[in-house]
Structure formats: C-alpha cells, structure tokens
Chains A and B, each alone.
Chain A
Amino acid sequence: MATILEESGFSPDRKLKIVGTNPVKHDGLDKVTGRAKFGADFFLPGMLVGKILRSPHPHAVIKSIDTSAAAALPGVKAVITRDDFPDLPKGTPGGDLTRNVIAREKVLYEGHVVAAVAATSESIAKKALKLIKVDYEPLPHVIDPAEAMKPDAPILHDHLRTKGVKDGGDKPTNVVERLDLAMGNVDKGFAEADVIVEQEFDSKPMHQGYIEPQGCVATCTEDGQVWLWCCTQAPFVYRDRLSQLLKLDASKICVQQSELGGGFGGKTGFYGEPLAIVLSRKAKRPVKIVLTRAEVFRGTGPVSATKSRIKMGVTKDGKITAAEAELIFQTGAFTGSMFVNAPQAMFTRYNLENVKTVSYEVVSNRPKVNSFRAPCVPQIVFGVEGVINELARKIGMDPIDLRLRNAATEGYKTIYGDVFGPIGFVETLEAAKKSDHYTSPKKPGTGRGVAAGFWFNRGGETSTSLNVAPDGSVTIITGTADVAGSRISISMMAAEELGVPVDKVRVNMADTHSLGFNRVTAGSRTTYSVGMTVVDSARQVIRELCRRAAGIWGVPEEGVVFEDGHCRPASSNVGEFEPLSVADIARKTTGSHGALVASTSMNVTGAGPGFGLHIVDVEVDKETGAAKVLRYTVVEDAGKAIHPLQVEGQYQGGAVQGIGWALNEEYIYGEDGKLQNPSFLDYRMPVASDVPMIDTEIVEVPNPRHPFGLRGVGEVPVVPTMAAIANAIGDAIGVRPRSLPMSPPKLLKLIEQTKQG
C-alpha cells in the first residue's frame, strides 16, 4: 500500500510559493467555452433514449405490470420492470437499494420508479411509457414524521422494527432507530443553571438543487460487462453498489465520471444509472437517461425534515451548564439520513460537560433523503443557536461573548469520543467580533443575528497516482470527483511539493478501472485527503529523484538533497554539481530507469474540525412578511486556504444555499401525498437579485496533520446560516422564528402575534 504519510512535515515557517495563491483552474477554460462534458453531454453510436415511468401514488401495492403494448411499439428496444432486477432480501442494505431504484412489492412515494423503456427517440419512449399498464391498490399514506411515529400510522415496511430500543416489540413501525447519545449528568447541570431555555423547532425538506439533472450513458458488452458514464460524487461507491444490485463482479463494471454540474451530497447515490444499464443489457445498445427537473424533485434526495426540542441552561456569568435535545428525522421511504451526525455535532463547538440527546429516524411516504452539506446538522443547529442567543439575551451578554465564554479548545473530549487537536473556534469568534460588520451599527429598522457552526470534516479511503512524464510535466490520477474546483488545489499542492510550476501539473479524474477504491467525495474530505495522498506520492518521487541524481553524479544517496524543485549536493564536501530539476532528471533517466511514478492508497485520518461564525443583517417587510438579507459575513477557519478564491467561493455558496433554506425552500405536499412544487418556478431557490455580496474572512489555524495545514471548508458554511438569519429576524420583529422556512406567511403570523402580545 505504498508508504504512509506518517509525518506530515507541516511547518508554520515553510515558505510557500504556490499554496495560497489563486491560479486559474485547469478545468475552467473548457467550462467558459462550453466544451466541458457533463452527464448529459455524452453520445455513443446507436445510443437509445431511456425514459422512466413513476408512481402517481404515494403508497400502493403493485398488483401487476403489463408492458406488452409498450414493448410492441415500433422503435421500442427494451422495457424493464422489477422483474429485470435480482430480488434482494427486504430490510437489508441491498434490498433497500434495489427497492429504491425500482419498486418491487409496493410504491412508497409519488415518483417512485415502476418501469423504464429504451427507444430510438424520446418521443417514442414517452409514448411507450403511456402504454405500460400498472394495476395499483392504493394504501393510506403518511408524510409528516411525527404522524408517522404514531401507533396507528400507515406502515411502510412490514419487516421494520425499531433499532436501539430494548423492547422493540413484534409490531411493525415506521421508526427505524432510536439513538441515545449523552455525556455527564444533565440533571446536575440544569440544577446549576440560573436560566434555562427550552424551545421546539421544525424544518421542512429542501433539495440540494444542483442545476445539472442526473444524466448518464450506459453500455454493456456481449459478455455482460458494464461501462457507465455519469455525473457522480462517488464513482467507486456507484460501482460497488451496482455490483451488489446487479450481482456482478466489481471488476466487470467501469464507472467513468463526467464533469459534475453540482452535487452538494445529492449525487452520492444513483437513480437512473442502474435502469440505463439494465435497459442497455436488454436492448444490446447504449442507453442514455437524463432526468427531467420534475423527476429530480420527485425522485431524488431532498434533505430530512426535522422536529426538535432543545433545552439549555446557563449561569448568570455565562457558563452553559447543560444541554438536552430530542430530535426526529424524516428519512423518506428508506433509512439512510445519516441523522447520527446531528446529536454528535449539534452542541459540539462548546465545551459542554453535561449533554443528553435522544434521536429518532422515521420513514414516511416521501423520496429517500440524500446527503446535503453537513447532513442533518444545519436544520438542528437552527434551533441550538437560537436557544443560545436567547440565553445570551436573558443574562444580558453579547452573543459572541457567550460563545467565547463556552468555546471548545484543544483537548476537549467530544460527545462522540474524539479529543480535539488544535482548532480555531476561539480565533474565529474573535475575528468575527472584530469584523467591520459586527463593529458597524445596523441600519435603523433592521435586525442583526449571529450563529456558529461546526463540522467534523472527513478523511477516508483515498487512492491516487502521480506520474512524471519524460519532459518533467506531471499527471495525477484521482478517483474522487471535482465538485467545485479541487483539481486546481490538488495540482497546486503537488506543484509546491515538487517545485514545478502549477501549469506543469494536470489532474485527471480516472474511471474505476484505473485506481483503487476512493470513498465518496463528500463531507469536506477531498482536498484534505487527496492532498495527503498526492503529497505522499510526490515525496516518494522526490526520494527516487535524489537516488537518480546520486547515480548521475556518482555520489552516495545521502549526499543529495531536494530543495526548491532541484536535486542539489547536500554540501560542498559532496562535490560541485549543477542542480538538477525534476525535468532534467526525468529527461536523463526515464530511458534508463523507467518512468518516475508513485501511487498512494491510504485511509486518511486526522481531518481537522471546522468552525464558522456568520453575521447577518435582515430587513422584514411588515406588510408582506418577506425577509431580505441586506448584509452577510462568513468567518470560518480553513486551516490553510490552498486557493483562497475557491475557499471564499465555498463560504459564499454555502451561505446562499442556507439563505434559500432559511427563507423559501421547502417540499410542499398536498393531502393526496403528492409533491405540489416540483419545478424551479414553485420551488424557489435564491436568484442573484435576492442576495447581497457575501463578505468572507478566512481564519487560518493550521491542522498540523496535513502537510499544508488545511481543513475541509465545504460543509461549515451552511451549518449556521438559517440560525443566524432567524436570530436576525428575531431582532427585527421581536420574536425569533422556530419553523423553517421562514417564508412570508409564517413571518406575517409572528408579526401579528407581536402586535397582539
């Protein structure tokens, strides 16, 4: 498994030439000229168009499916149903996986896939869908997670029993799991408090909202090997899950990722891709499936709706003594919400000793949720940071000071057992307090709010290789996705290490045949983890360069050092030799010694946690209830910003997604259990005129486990956003909202209440 980067070699004194600058990203030119190929931009000769039939019912038994008329339509080359997939056992990960790809016994949400066709044109494929006859027996449905927990609620899965409950009983339930996570003694903690605040909150699902709908092309060889082109955050995970789903060796499946037109967690699991593969196998031709926007809304992962009760206590002098929470997460029709993140992260950033949480994950008749930046955390932090502001108000303390008073520092043992290394929460809070935004008065009639957020940041299995061409230029092969510009950051780290210009380094995103397993590109893990493996490979290459330079000079290996991109004699005792650059050695020795290459495969650990504080000013129109964000500042610790413009972009993009979640975005269901707003017109994401410039301040408290000190930066920016906006709205109208989204009708009601009260 090659060498492991045991010593990162991080030094705060290292003089960096490339890291910390803003070179143009290498994939940029193709993107501004329209040449970059995304999921839907690929064609193969003889390719068919695949279309999907979806359930009109939120919950129904599929009694029969008759595809004969569709199959007989000229131009239709394949029709598939549940019968074309291996029947994996219910209640297992594979069983859930296959049932979400295509319904088997029952449809579990409106938009659940029932059948698919491949035809020579889109119009024929659409006509064929209308000829498929499905006999449904509709069942009662349940949308709301609290309703789904009731004993008489319609049951989605007969086999389901609650995990984590001693006496789970024999009765089927919609509660997938109960998770208790606690530390210290909350009774003692609350007894020590002078002020206790307990409030309830709720949130609705929002969609990741990537602009590129899922698109793929699948083709199969005569002997059943699969080649799949698709936009994905997880080519290797797709391969391995396809292997499970299709009962095919992973080595017979090759996934080639396209450019990714946004994912934000939503492209970590597949939807139409297995359908395209099975259609292609049946039709013996390549098949392309591109989802429509309505299909994206109805059939792909929104985030969890939540309900929460949060209680915290504080002493008069600002010490938070205890925190307690009860949390409910709606996971859609199948488990997989990653709700465990929430009890682990919701209070983590404060040095609390007494914490008690109880969390429930619940299924209901909605599409299975998928990841979104810091899965399940922001909608809970929406409540936590509101309670903290309320505590600050009640004891008459500045809200940032209260957070500083309780800020976790190095050595704090978290509720999930990790002990913090060097972290930058205090530095982040101090920077926010000194910021121009916080020190400037707010405009009359507006409200200001602050909120803090935390994310673990992740590492995980990462495999890359690095090759030096005979001319000294460098190619890097990665198996992670580039969700927003990681290729340039990876090039920069390799260039810095090897002392070559960044333009001499190119990163290629390989297919799954070309590298070892790479975990999903998510959790703010990629630039960190790939940085580790690529630096490891660069150091292997440097060792080999020194060996070869020693050979050229006829001196012992230890007589050669590598500095500033060149092999040099370690001292004048070694002899007088002209320094040799990477290109010099590659040119001179590739013929004699073979290419300079290195591969690194690691399960990367040591990710440095990230912390942020957001400051926001809002204005609320008291006639319409519409809130408008006037000024926004993100302060966040990046450890080290490899490419500061890209780091700022993460902060800004996360904040604006949070503004959408805070003020507008939600899944709206009718009594009939059908989604009422599956379009960008009715599901309204922020547009340019809705938001101001987003100011950013990058704090840099290095993570010494990484050669350049970096931390992930992608998740934290959305964690405190809705909380900060809610706190600002509370400041503006006198009552702090507790329900997301804070849409005009809800705010109008609150304004009315304050008038009456």
Chain B
Amino acid sequence: MAKKYHVTTTVNGDEYEVLCEPQQTLLDVLRDELQLTGTKEGCATGDCGACSVMLDGELVCACLVLGVEADGKKVETIEGMGNEKELHPLQRNFLELNGLQCGICTPGILVAAKALLERNPDPTEMEVRYWLAGNLCRCTGYDKIIRSVLATAKEIRGGA
C-alpha cells in the first residue's frame, strides 16, 4: 500500500486532519475522505470547472491540486457559501432567475462567480462569459447563468 501523508487543512473554517495518498487530489480528499460532496467531479482534468474551490483565496480546480498541497491551507467550498437562512445573493439569484437546471455544474459556477464578483463587482456580460469559460454547463445554454451573475453584481453594488 502506498505511503500516506498526514495533511491538516481548514475547510470552510473547520480544521480537518486526513491521511492522504500522494496521488490523491484535493477533490478526492474533499469528496471521499471528508465526504464534502458539494464539490463535483466532471472530468478530473481541469476542463469542466465542476470542482471549482478557493484555496487560500485563489480560484482553483480541486482536481488539479494534490491533497498534500492543501496542507496548512484554507479551502472554501460550496458548503461554506450560504445556507437556507443566509443565502449568498448569487445563490438566491440563481434560484429566482432559474440559473440552474440539473444542478451538477452549479456549485462550481457559484464558487467561480463569487470569486469574480469579489475581484470585479461591475463586470460586463463579456467579462462574466470569459471568467466562467472554464465552467461547463450542458443544460442552460449559459443565458440564465450569465443573467443571474449580472443581476447579483448589480444588487451587490446597490443598484437592485
């Protein structure tokens, strides 16, 4: 059996310790070791964005980060974004404007969109489209996703 490494990482503010095989990705650790399954695997090659998470404030594909690389770092996933009582405005707008159909890409898109709005609260439609170009959605044709993000940006800026 492959040697396992002891990894201490903070996920959504909670500290976790896991034993992790060297080839296991952060996505494997989140899903299989911590059973935080909100982060999805669509490709495991960094092409679909379904596993988008924040790692020390940087937007990454969790499938392209090794579990051991998360040692000592802070991970933020969809599970930390909001709950029924306190939804993030993005989550609320996705619900109200139907920015999701099947919902498999939704966690990754929400995490990525939140990162965009924190960096640029007034994106153009084209900027939203290019920022989210790494997040595949097969159901919606993107229209209502883009509208949900733009509506949220406007709301956050106080223009709602």
Chain A residues packing against B (C-beta within 8 Å):
22, 24-25, 27-29, 31-38, 40-41, 43, 74-75, 121-124, 208-213, 259-264, 290, 292-293, 483-485, 645-646, 648-649, 652-657, 679-681, 685-691, 693-694
Partner of A211, one of B42, B87, B110: B42
CB<8 Å pairs between A and B, sample of 7: A34-B36, A34-B79, A43-B35, A75-B1, A210-B138, A259-B103, A680-B45
Q: In the complex, given contacts A34-B77, A213-B42, A293-B42, what are 4 additional A-B residue pairs having Cβ atoms less than 8 angstroms apart?
A: A211-B138, A484-B101, A652-B140, A656-B141
- Flag if A28 contacts B100 (CB, 8 Å): yes
Give complex CA distance A25, B98 in Å. 8
CB pair B45 A211 closer than 8 Å: no
Once A32-B94, A485-B101 are accepted as A-B contacts, the answer to whether A209 and B47 lie under 8 Å apart by CB is no
- Asked whether B104 lies within 8 Å of A32 as measured between CB atoms, the reply is no
Q: Nearest CB to that of B88 among chain A residues? A: A32
The verdict on A293 contacting B132 (CB below 8 Å), with A211-B105, A212-B104, A645-B97 known, is: no
A301 and B14 alpha carbons, distance in the complex (Å) = 41
- CB pair A653–B110 under 8 Å, yes or no, is no
Residue of A nearest to B126 (CB): A689
- Least CB separation from B45: chain A residue: A679
Q: Which residue of A lies closest to B28 (CB)?
A: A122
- Please pick, from B43, B87, B135, B143, the residue contacting A694 in the complex, using a CB distance under 8 A: B143
Asked if B21 is an interface residue, CB under 8 A from chain A, the answer is yes
The majority secondary structure among interface residues of chain B is loop
Q: Tell me the B44-81 residues at the A interface (CB within 8 Å).
A: 44-45, 47-48, 50, 77-79, 81
A335 to B72 alpha-carbon distance, docked (Å): 54
Nearest chain-A residue to B82 (Cβ)? Answer: A33
Q: Which of these, A212, A654, A657, A685, contacts B40 with CB under 8 Å?
A: A212
Q: Which residue of B lies closest to A42 (CB)?
A: B37
The secondary structure that dominates the A interface is loop
Q: Contact partner of B102 among A212, A681, A686, CB < 8 A?
A: A212
Neighbouring B residues of A37 by C-beta, 8 Å: 37
Contact digits for B81-97, partner A, Cβ 8 Å, 1 yes 0 no: 11110010001001111
- Whether A211 pairs with B48 at a CB distance below 8 angstroms is yes
Assembly CA distance A646 to B98 (angstroms): 7
- Listed from nearest, the 9 A-B pairs whose CB atoms lie closest are A34-B38, A261-B104, A31-B103, A656-B141, A34-B78, A652-B141, A680-B47, A41-B37, A645-B98
- Contact between B95 and A28, CB atoms less than 8 A apart: yes
Once the chains are docked, how many angstroms separate the CA of A137 from the CA of B134? 42
- Number of A-B contacts defined by CB within 8 Å: 191
B46 to chain A, nearest CB (A): 8
Interface assignment of B115: CB less than 8 Å from any CB of chain A: no
How far, in whole Å, are A484 and B104 apart by their CA atoms in the complex? 11
Chain B residue, CB-CB nearest to A657: B138
Cβ of A29 and Cβ of B97 under 8 Å apart? no
Collect the chain B residues with CB atoms within 8 Å of residue A212's CB: 40, 42, 102, 104
Q: Cβ of A262 and Cβ of B98 under 8 Å apart?
A: no
Option from B21, B37, B98, B129 in Cβ contact (under 8 Å) with A22: B98
Does B144 lie within 8 Å of A652, measured CB to CB? Answer: yes
B81 contacts A33, CB within 8 Å? yes
Q: A31-B106, A34-B38, A656-B142 are in contact. Are A687 and B100 (CB under 8 A)?
A: no
Cβ of B50 to closest chain A Cβ, rounded Å: 6
- Asked if B160 lies at the interface with its beta carbon under 8 angstroms from chain A, I say no
| B97, A649: Cβ atoms closer than 8 Å | no
**Is there contact, CB below 8 Å, between B79 and A262?**
no
| Given contact pairs A259-B103, A292-B44, A691 touches B142 in the complex (Cβ within 8 A) | yes
Known: A32-B91, A211-B105, A259-B102. A681 touches B47 (CB 8 A): yes
B138-A264 in contact (CB<8A): yes
* Chain B residues whose C-beta falls within 8 Å of the C-beta of A657 in the assembled complex: 138, 141
B79 touches A261 (CB 8 A): no
Contacts of B45 in A (CB 8 A): 293, 679-681
Contact B139 A32 (CB under 8 A): no
Is there contact, CB below 8 Å, between B102 and A261? yes
Among B32, B44, B101, B147, point to the contact of A293 (Cβ < 8 A): B44
Which of the residues A27, A29, A262, A655 comes within 8 Å of B141, measured between beta carbons? A655
- Which of the listed residues A36, A657, A679, A690 has the most CB atoms from chain B within 10 Å of its own CB? A36
A261 contacts B23, C-beta separation under 8 Å = no
| Chain B positions within 8 Å of A124 at CB level | 1
- Across the interface, which residues of A come within 8 angstroms of B96, CB to CB? 24
CA distance A655 to B140 in the complex (A): 9
A37 and B40 CA atoms in complex are apart in Å by: 10
Task: Tell me if B107 and A34 are in contact (CB < 8 A).
Answer: yes
Known A-B contacts A33-B79, A688-B129; the reply to A209 vs B138 at CB < 8 A is yes
* Residues A33 and B141 in contact, CB atoms below 8 Å apart: no
B152 to chain A, nearest CB (A): 12
Pairwise interchain contact B138-A484, C-beta atoms closer than 8 A: no
**Is the C-beta of B153 less than 8 angstroms from some C-beta in chain A?**
no
Residue numbers in A under 8 Å from B28 (CB-CB): 122
Residue B39 CB within 8 A of the other chain? yes
